Amino acid sequence: MDNELLQSYQDAVWIAKTLFQKGTVTGSAANISFRCGDSVYISQSGSIFGLLSEKSFAQVDLNGQPVNGGRPSKELPMHLTLYREFPSVKAVIHTHSFYSTIWSTLPFVNPADAIPEDTPYLKMQLGAIRLVGYHKPGSEKLFEAFRKALGSTTGYLLKNHGPIVGGSSLLDAFAKIEELETSAKVAWYLHRDGNFAAGPDGR
């Protein structure tokens, strides 16, 4: 195993366990992948982030064909879409994190800019987050809706489902999905208390 692949496994396992310990993910409701060469390594179907190891990943090619390992996560097509659409993306994380998911259910969420700019950090890292309409997880209808929602950003919010983020590395994707969840949490508390985003510049 070369050094790049070994480091990627180590980063992916650390991120998964960190998200699990923080309560950002629960049970098997999340998936993580990284690209190394012409292969994508993605957590296997049913993987529990708190127990993830190097053996928990399935290896596929960029067309989704199996190379090694067990059955990949059913959300693999969304990961592959981000890798194909954005050559700079080397890692993808999808969670069902609480505040992002609850925010996605609200009827007034703007599909073109789903998370309010209460602080500048999410826009600085990802730009506007697009909302993808609800379809059954793992379904072709969801994957088609995801492809249609693609824009210049590598961060998306799946309605009633959770966020998916691509990054230039595993650690970059981790930082971005953490910021997305934090931004959704801030937005939720402000909304709950009857306040609405004025933006970091007061507008």
- Catalytic residue ranges: 75, 121
User: Residue 194 is encoded by which pair of tokens?
Assistant: 């009857």
Helix, strand, coil in percent for the chain, rounding step 5:
40, 20, 40
**What DSSP letter does each residue of 13-68 carry, written as one string?**
HHHHHHHHHHTSS-TT-EEEEEEETTEEEEEBTT--GGG--GGGEEEEETT--EEE
Closest among 48, 86, 59 to 168, alpha carbons compared? 86
